[in-house]
Amino acid sequence: MFRNVAELVERAEKESISLSEVMIRQEMEVKQLTREKIFEQMERNLEVMEKAIEDGLKGVQSHSGLTGGDAVLIQNYMRDKEPLSGHLLMDAVSKAVATNEVNAAMGTICATPTAGSAGCVPGTLFAVKDKLNPTREQMIRYLFTSGAFGFVVANNASISGAAGGCQAEVGSAAGMAAAAIVEMAGGTPAQSAEAMAITLKNMLGLICDPVAGLVEVPCVKRNAMGASNAVVAADMALAGVTSRIPCDEVIDAMYKVGQRMPTAFRETAQGGLAATLTGKKLEAKIYGSPIDE
């Protein structure tokens, strides 16, 4: 069993297998299940992700009224104009947003690694799908690769906004996505690790400040930025760009930053955007409570 990214990459390189294959073999060993059963379980996750994106792109609204419809706006923009940042990147953004809008509307999503950060992995997957034309198996392997990096973060740091801020949620999710993009695009295990490191180190310190305590504002748009971060970091890694700080040290740094982060910035809705005048007004409107201006 691998304990960190270095061991994950080392095992892949030593055995001349992909990172996804390392994760698949570990799942088979830990769960004592056949390869076919492991794939079946992950394919169900893929189906949930696909359905969430489809629903989100049709247009959904949250019960609070805080979020909904942005994924449709982005798709309309892509249809009518040439996006400045490119079609693939904005497609990833729209599909990440779609997933989290479905979550906010109480729909079914797949936590990757959490509900609040559920858009990054599927958003990027279904965007690069149109570019790389992967098989269904390769799409499932994308999830195993992202899961391998999520496994490392969860066991060595945190994937919880309450414990480590949004860097631990969307930051981790974006890094997981970046690593998976690299493998699907034909990159090496080491390049996947570089993509994860590049992504996560550029999201260090990101606070968790949900308005009214709901996983909507700014969570949905943070997934959009996480997805875009992942795509750019993957391209950088594929180009040969490396992180001066090794991936495992970046993950450790994220953990330590989270430990020192004030509680107001860790999912308590007491700081950041949640504490702004508008944030408080929205909270009062949702819950029907008075607010001191």
pLDDT of residue 289: 73
Residue 51 token pair: 């359905």
Of the candidates 125, 120, 152, the one whose C-alpha atom is nearest the C-alpha of residue 46 is 125
Tokens of 245: 């700080």
Contact indicator for 70, 95 with CB cutoff of 8 Å: no
Instruction: Give the global pTM.
Output: 0.97
- Distance, in Å, from the CA atom of 293 to the CA atom of 291, rounded to the nearest integer, reads 6
What are the pLDDT digits (tens) for 219-265? 999 999 999 999 999 999 999 999 999 999 999 999 999 999 999 99
Q: What is the pLDDT of residues 97-141, one digit of tens each?
A: 999 999 999 999 999 999 999 999 999 999 999 999 999 999 999
Q: Which of 173, 172, 278, 159 is nearest to 217 (CA)?
A: 278
**SS3 assignment for 129-180:** HHHHCCCHHHHHHHHHHHHHHHHHHHHHCCCCHHHHCHHHHHHHHHHHHHHH
